[in-house]
Chain A
Amino acid sequence: DAKTTQPNSMESNEEEPVHLPCNHSTISGTDYIHWYRQLPSQGPEYVIHGLTSNVNNRMASLAIAEDRKSSTLILHRATLRDAAVYYCILTYNAGNMLTFGGGTRLMVKP
């Protein structure tokens, strides 16, 4: 299985943009890149996903490197409610399964 590497933690100031990196150097051509986040005492929540092109939705943007070996989740204006653990995950064709690694704990300072 292709694995992902993320920093253990990051800090941001409220209302500033946040760039959360993810390395996935062994990604295969058919792997999608998904991001989920988990707020304290809650189940994970889908954020965004993509294959090759950059993606935008109401929550965030996903920037994917041209060689697909890394990606960056961008929160355009961090709020206190964005404090969570963010997981970068690769999904593969065989069954829509998610394998979560350790994630990045994002702390947002007022």
Chain B
Amino acid sequence: DVKVTQSSRYLVKRTGEKVFLECVQDMDHENMFWYRQDPGLGLRLIYFSYDVKMKEKGDIPEGYSVSREKKERFSLILESASTNQTSMYLCASSFSRLGLHDEQFFGPGTRLTVL
């Protein structure tokens, strides 16, 4: 089974802190994605990566950065957390950029609260 794991299920941070959310996939997928999910807004894409050290902005990249130093790991970074970044964060991966409509495999999510 494809497994996408996220470092924490629940996280509480203070305004202004630097926050790292880690995601690891074990199926040698090329693509990895970070979404946030908020009530009434569905899932929104923050960033995605189709190769090591490659990244592209999604719909709502402001206030976030990402890092992909190894193929299996994709990190989401909140440089200075703010209360409006309180959300559920979901990581996903898919096989190949060439297979543009491959299914995405999601992790269980990290519920981040910024106080």
Contact = CB atoms under 8 A, between A and B. Distances in A.
Interface of A: 32, 34, 36, 41-46, 49, 87, 91, 93, 95-103
A97 B43 contact: no
Chain A CB count within 10 A is highest, among B42, B45, B56, for: B42
Contacts of A99: 42-45, 59
Contacts of A45: 106
Interface in B1-43: 4, 31, 33, 35, 37, 40, 42-43
Contacts of A93: 100
Contact of B45 (A32, A34, A41, A97): A97
B103 A97 contact: no
28 contacts: A41-B108, A42-B108, A42-B109, A43-B90, A43-B92, A44-B43, A44-B92, A44-B104, A44-B106, A45-B106, A46-B104, A49-B101, A49-B103, A95-B48, A95-B56, A96-B48, A96-B50, A96-B100, A96-B101, A96-B102, A97-B45, A97-B48, A98-B33, A98-B43, A99-B59, A100-B37, A102-B40, A102-B42
A21 to B, nearest CB: 17
Report whether over half of chain A's contact residues are helix, strand or loop; otherwise say mixed: loop
Contacts of A100: 35, 37, 42-44
B75 interface: no
Contacts of A97: 33, 45, 48, 58
A32 B103 CA distance: 11
Q: Which of B40, B45, B48, B103 has the most CB atoms of chain A within a 10 A radius of its CB?
A: B103
Nearest 7 Cβ contacts at the A-B interface: A43-B106, A46-B103, A100-B43, A100-B42, A32-B101, A96-B100, A44-B106
Contacts of B100: 91, 93, 95-96
